[in-house]
Amino acid sequence: MPYRLTVIGTGYLGITHAACMADLGFEVLGLDIDADKVLRLNSGELPIHEPGLEPVLRRGLESGRLRFTTSYEDIAAFGDVHFICVGTPQKRGEYAADVSYMDAAVESLAPLLDRECLVVGKSTVPVGTAERLADKLARLAPAGVLTELAWNPEFLREGHAVQDTMRPDRLVFGVRSERAEKVLREVYEPLGDVPIVVSDFATAELVKTAANAFLATKISFINAMAEVCEAAHADVQKLSEALSYDDRIGGRYLNAGLGFGGGCLPKDIRAFMARAGELGADQALTFLREVDAINMRRRARMVDLARELAGGSFHGCVVGVLGAAFKPDSDDIRDSPALDVAVTIGHQGGRVTMYDPIALDNARKAHPELSYGESVVEAVRGAHVVLLLTEWQEFVDLDPEQLGGVVAARRIVDGRNALDAETWRSAGWHYRALGRP
C-alpha cells in the first residue's frame, strides 16, 4: 500500500475507519487523547458496541498493521494521510456545533509535521469549517513542509458501521488540488467501484449535513402523517407501506414511531439551522425547526398514550420499559427517545424498570435514578403497562402469551410499530401503537 494512514479520534467513526483501513491492507496508527481507551483498543477491546467490528479490530492488531497511540509526535512521524474523526457535539444550551476538538486536532498535529502529507477532515462540521482549518494548517505547519487539507465526509450508520465503510453508497472528496484528489482516490481504491463526487470544500461539508437533514425530514414526515392518522383513525403503517411502493418515495426511513435520536441526526439538523442563520440563509431551513418539533412531539405523545393506558395517571403504576438505546444494534444512548420517555414517566410518578440487551450499563450510568432489570422478564414483572421503545430483535420475537404470565395487566404500547398487533391482541393484550387505531 502506498500510504501510511493515521486516524485522529476513536469514537464510532474513528475506530471503524482505522480498523477497516487496516483490513484493506494499510498500515494505520490511531490516536486518542484518552490513554485508557488507547490501552483497551491496543488489547483488542472495543469501547463501543458495534456488530462485526471487533473481529476487524483484532485482525488489524494481529497483523501488526493497526496500533493506537496517545502521541501526536508518533502520528506526525508515521502518517502520509491523517484522517480527523473527532466529535463535533452540540454546544451546551445552543443549537450550534462545538468544533473545538477539530481545531485542537489541527493545532496539535500541524506544528509537528515534518514530511509531505494530506490532512483529511471526516467529521460532520458547519459549512466553512474546512476553509478555516485549511488556513490554520497552512499557518501552523513548519515552513517547507508540503501539506494541505481535504474534506471527506463520512455517512456510516451505527449498527452498520463496517458494512457502510467497506461498501459506501458514495465517496465525496472536497479538494483544492489534483494532488489531494489523487491521494484520496488511491486510498479508497481497494473499495472498488464506488461513485465518487469531487467538489470544493463547502459543497463536501454540505453534502453530509444535507443528507442528514433529508433523512430527518423523511422520518418526521411519516411521523407527521402518524399524527394525522391518530386524529383520523387511520393506520400509518398501511399508509407507509403504500407510499413505499412508489420508488420516487421509497420505503427506507419511512418507519413511523418514536422518531429519531442518537449522536447525529438531532444535533446535526440543529447545527445546520444555526449555521444557515450565521450565513443569512436561515429562511431556507426554517422547515427543519418543524422537523425537530414533530420529532420531539412523538416522545410526548408516547408518554400520553402510556398514561392513558395506565388509567390517567402514573401514580402507583409499574411501567416496564423495553429498550434504552437510540436504536437497535447500538449501545448508544445519546439523545435516545427511549430514555427520554422513561425519564419523563419517572418524573410523572411512574415506577419505571428498564431493560436493554446492550445499552443497559450506559443507561444506568447516565440515569441512576431509574430501576433496571437484567432481562425482559425482570423489567416487566408486575407491570401495569409495558412500553416497547427500541425495536431490538429480541423484543420483536417476544411471545405475548409467555409475557402475559409475568405482567400485572396485559397492556402494551409499541413505540416503534415493531410488533404484530393481531398476535398481541389475540393473546389478550390491550395493544396500542403510535399512528395506528
The minimum distance between CB 337 and ligand UDX, in angstroms, equals: 6
Residue with cell 467513526: 13
Return the closest-CA partner of residue 97 out of 217, 263, 330, 334.
263
Task: Kindly state whether residue 264 participates in binding ligand UDX, applying the rule CB under 6 A.
Answer: yes
Q: How far is CA 151 from the centre of its chain?
A: 20
Kindly determine how many residues on this chain lie close enough to bind ligand UDX according to the rule CB under 6 A.
19
**Cβ closer to ligand UDX: 117 or 264?**
264
Interface region with ligand UDX, contact rule CB under 6 A, candidates 15-23, 153-161, 194-202, 279-287 = 153-161
DSSP 357: T
DSSP 171: E
N-term to C-term CA, the chain: 58
85 is a catalytic site residue: no
- Which string of x and - marks every residue 156-185 that binds ligand UDX (by CB under 6 A)? xxx---------------------------
Return the closest-CA partner of residue 119 out of 110, 128, 127, 111.
110
The minimum distance between CB 25 and ligand UDX, in angstroms, equals: 25
d(CA 242, CA 236): 10
Q: Which residues are annotated as a binding site for NAD(+)?
A: 32, 37, 88, 124, 158, 267, 334
Q: Locate 179 and state its grid cell.
A: 494532488
Interface region with ligand UDX, contact rule CB under 6 A, candidates 25-33, 179-187, 194-202, 249-257 = 249-257
The minimum distance between CB 10 and ligand UDX, in angstroms, equals: 17
**Cβ closer to ligand UDX: 60 or 435?**
435
d(CA 47, CA 38): 10
Q: Which of residues 360-389 bind ligand UDX (CB under 6 A)?
A: none
Q: Which residues are annotated as a binding site?
A: 32, 37, 88, 124, 155-158, 208, 253-257, 261, 267, 327, 334
d(CA 329, CA 34): 25
For the CA atoms of 189, 194, 198, 202, the dihedral, rounded to the nearest 10 degrees, stands at -110
Please report how many Cα atoms fall inside a 13 Å half-sphere around the Cα of residue 242, on the Cβ side: 6
DSSP 292-352: HHHHHHHHHHHHHHHHHHTTS--TT-EEEEE--SSSTT----TT-HHHHHHHHHHHTT-EE
The minimum distance between CB 255 and ligand UDX, in angstroms, equals: 3
Which parts of 110-191 fold into alpha helices (H)?
129-140, 161-166, 178-188
Task: Kindly state whether residue 265 participates in binding ligand UDX, applying the rule CB under 6 A.
Answer: yes
Return the closest-CA partner of residue 126 out of 165, 157, 100, 156.
100
Contact with ligand UDX (CB under 6 A) among 78, 155, 424, 431: 155
Task: Kindly state whether residue 221 participates in binding ligand UDX, applying the rule CB under 6 A.
Answer: no
The minimum distance between CB 155 and ligand UDX, in angstroms, equals: 4
Interface region with ligand UDX, contact rule CB under 6 A, candidates 110-118, 251-259, 339-347, 380-388 = 251-259
Q: Which of residues 194-213 bind ligand UDX (CB under 6 A)?
A: 212
Contact with ligand UDX (CB under 6 A) among 326, 372, 392, 424: 326
Interface region with ligand UDX, contact rule CB under 6 A, candidates 15-23, 252-260, 299-307, 372-380 = 252-260
The minimum distance between CB 157 and ligand UDX, in angstroms, equals: 4
Among 20, 117, 264, 317, the active-site one is 264
Q: Which residues are annotated as a binding site for substrate?
A: 155-158, 208, 253-257, 261, 327
User: Which H or E run includes 388?
Assistant: strand 385-388
**Cβ closer to ligand UDX: 276 or 325?**
325
Interface region with ligand UDX, contact rule CB under 6 A, candidates 227-235, 259-267, 311-319, 345-353 = 259-267
Contact with ligand UDX (CB under 6 A) among 260, 314, 429, 431: 260
Task: Kindly state whether residue 261 participates in binding ligand UDX, applying the rule CB under 6 A.
Answer: yes
Q: How far is CA 406 from the centre of its chain?
A: 34
d(CA 320, CA 46): 30
Task: Kindly state whether residue 215 participates in binding ligand UDX, applying the rule CB under 6 A.
Answer: yes
User: Is the distance from CB of 199 to CB of 210 less than 8 angstroms?
Assistant: no
Catalytic annotation, residues: 264
Binding residues for ligand UDX (CB under 6 A): 155-158, 212, 215, 219, 253-255, 257, 259-262, 264-265, 326-327
